[in-house]
Chain A
Amino acid sequence: MVKEIERFGLPVVHVCTVVPISMTVGANRIVPAVAIPHPFGNPALDVKEEKALRRKLVEKAMKALQTEIETQTVIE
């Protein structure tokens, strides 16, 4: 899906836990996620902490979307 949307001309950020698979399938902008069962959150945190974590991840992804890249890049 990442590749097909990019082929259409829109930049895509792939937020995913297993970065090597994302690299193998050819995503260009990759943001590492939390864990496979809960990529965008962490049930071990309390509500406030988890909201902060989620916001940080989304903001990082938004920034990655605007970042100029030359090759496949992992944005930590």
Chain B
Amino acid sequence: MKLELGKVFIEDVQFGESTHLDGRILVIDHAELLEAVSGDEHLWKIRVDLAHPGESVRITPVKDVIEPRVKVKGHGGIFPGMLSKVDTVGNGRTHAMKNVAVVTAGKVVGFQEGIIDMSGIGADYTPFSKTHNVVITAEPKAGIKPHDHEAALRTLGLKAAAYLGQAVKDVEPDEIKTYETLAPREAAQLYPELPRVGYVYMLQTQGLLHDTYVYGVDAKKIVPTIMYPTEIMDGAIVSGNCVSACDKNPTYVHLNNPIIEDLYEEHGKTLNFMGVIITNENVTLADKERSSNWTAKLTEFLGLDGAIVSQEGFGNPDTDLIMNCRKIEEKGIKTVIVTDEYAGRDGASQSLADADPKANAVITNGNANEVIVLPPMNRLIGTTAYVDSCAGGFDGSLRSDGSIEVEIQAITGATNETGFVHLSADAY
């Protein structure tokens, strides 16, 4: 399967008469965008705000971050099974609007975190302070059930990203990159001298605000399966989770997964990238055992020599991570695991809830318990009403001057476990 990804680099975003590109400035017709995303019976008071890099703006609680994309050639449309029909995507040509993100924000249930600061020290911890953000908030109608509320907000963001993506459909991209993955038999013959490497992509699947969707299917209901990496670039995997926002994968990260990018970069040079195995992180032991058994079985089935395993979240998914690692290693296949740490505020505690001697190659994306003080911002999109009770927050987190003392786990993407961040750690 072969995908050409055309990137259009946007320099600014403004509201204007009609939605189009003026050179490399995205002009958005505010009324037309609202029209495109409205229609859900559960939501009202939909609001669109712009937040630019360097501005004194805080966005919280963040639900999802999505890159606008559009299918130009090939089967199906963007976000199959969610917005488009369930055609298998990942071939042909897709255009991506770079430097722009749709951010959905607002409370869904109980306490909820996810902070994006567009300037100040907090901006260094989130990749989404560098994008021009089209922030969408909406009020739920009275009596809405939490699951319906989550689904409505999730769809709202996807619709906005698909709508904005249309603006780059007929634009000549600044850069075109071609990604190709062959079926296993041909792929293995392609570079017989290079090690065959696969990517085990663990998806958070633990319930409301902890779910992920694959072609529209709630991933807690799947058994592990194999995907072409380019399917994921066309939005086959969509986020429905945002709790402890530092190490959750917003849809933006699924679309731009850096492990997939890097494996393609090394494909044919140092390794033979065979494809992606997706698996879940469920809440019963039987599910964890079954999924890790299947993941290990599929690494063997693909004839891999090595696998990179990335986690999403922390706590009990540490066990899924370690089970995957141990069972794949027991097949004689080398693993590298990619995670983050909850090592306490002083960094001295055990980093993961589970461990195994076979997990001897580990990449960390930082300690989520590190405390940070976020300075006050001039403009707030959303609400800071829940900061004291969010994951990583504590009584008194929100100070009277508007500054926030909080663990970095509250910051969207701060310790992302696909490496979509700047934090890491060295061993001494």
Residues of A in contact with B (beta carbons under 8 Å apart): 17-21, 24, 32, 34-37
Q: Are A36 and B354 in contact (CB under 8 A)?
A: no
Partner of A20, one of B206, B283, B323: B323
With A36-B206, A36-B284, A37-B207 known as contacts, the answer to whether A17 contacts B316 (CB < 8 A) is yes
Partner of A21, one of B207, B283, B319: B319
Tell me, in angstroms, the Cα distance from A19 to B322 when the chains sit together. 13
Q: Are A24 and B207 in contact (CB under 8 A)?
A: no
With A18-B316, A18-B319, A21-B318 known as contacts, the answer to whether A32 contacts B353 (CB < 8 A) is no
- Among B296-333, those with CB < 8 Å from A are 316, 318-319, 322-323
Q: Are A37 and B319 in contact (CB under 8 A)?
A: no
Residues of B in contact with A (beta carbons under 8 Å apart): 206-207, 283-285, 288, 316, 318-319, 322-323, 353-355
Tell me, in angstroms, the Cα distance from A18 to B206 when the chains sit together. 14
Tell me, in angstroms, the Cα distance from A21 to B283 when the chains sit together. 13
User: Smallest CB–CB gap between B246 and chain A, Å?
Assistant: 20
User: Smallest CB–CB gap between B312 and chain A, Å?
Assistant: 15
Tell me, in angstroms, the Cα distance from A20 to B323 when the chains sit together. 9
Q: Specify which chain B residues have a CB less than 8 angstroms from the CB of A36 in the assembled complex.
A: 206, 283-284, 316
Q: Specify which chain B residues have a CB less than 8 angstroms from the CB of A20 in the assembled complex.
A: 319, 322-323, 354
Tell me, in angstroms, the Cα distance from A49 to B284 when the chains sit together. 19
Tell me, in angstroms, the Cα distance from A15 to B285 when the chains sit together. 13
Q: Are A17 and B318 in contact (CB under 8 A)?
A: no
Q: Are B284 and A35 in contact (CB under 8 A)?
A: yes
Tell me, in angstroms, the Cα distance from A36 to B285 when the chains sit together. 9
Q: Specify which chain A residues have a CB less than 8 angstroms from the CB of B355 in the assembled complex.
A: 24
User: Smallest CB–CB gap between A36 and chain B, Å?
Assistant: 4
Q: Specify which chain A residues have a CB less than 8 angstroms from the CB of B316 in the assembled complex.
A: 17-18, 21, 36
Q: Are A35 and B283 in contact (CB under 8 A)?
A: yes
Q: Are A17 and B285 in contact (CB under 8 A)?
A: yes
Tell me, in angstroms, the Cα distance from A37 to B206 when the chains sit together. 9
User: Smallest CB–CB gap between A42 and chain B, Å?
Assistant: 10
User: Smallest CB–CB gap between B281 and chain A, Å?
Assistant: 10
In the complex, the 9 A-B pairs of residues with the closest C-beta atoms, listed nearest first:
A36-B283, A35-B284, A35-B283, A18-B319, A20-B319, A18-B316, A21-B354, A21-B353, A24-B354
Starting from the known contacts A18-B354, A32-B285, A35-B283, 15 additional A-B residue pairs (CB-CB under 8 Å) come to: A17-B285, A17-B316, A18-B285, A18-B288, A18-B353, A19-B285, A20-B319, A20-B323, A20-B354, A21-B316, A21-B319, A21-B353, A24-B355, A35-B284, A37-B207
Tell me, in angstroms, the Cα distance from A36 to B319 when the chains sit together. 12
Tell me, in angstroms, the Cα distance from A35 to B287 when the chains sit together. 10
Q: Specify which chain B residues have a CB less than 8 angstroms from the CB of A21 in the assembled complex.
A: 316, 318-319, 353-354
Q: Are B284 and A17 in contact (CB under 8 A)?
A: yes
Tell me, in angstroms, the Cα distance from A22 to B319 when the chains sit together. 10
Between-chain CB contacts (< 8 Å), 11 pairs: A17-B284, A17-B285, A17-B316, A18-B353, A20-B323, A21-B319, A24-B355, A34-B284, A35-B284, A36-B206, A37-B283
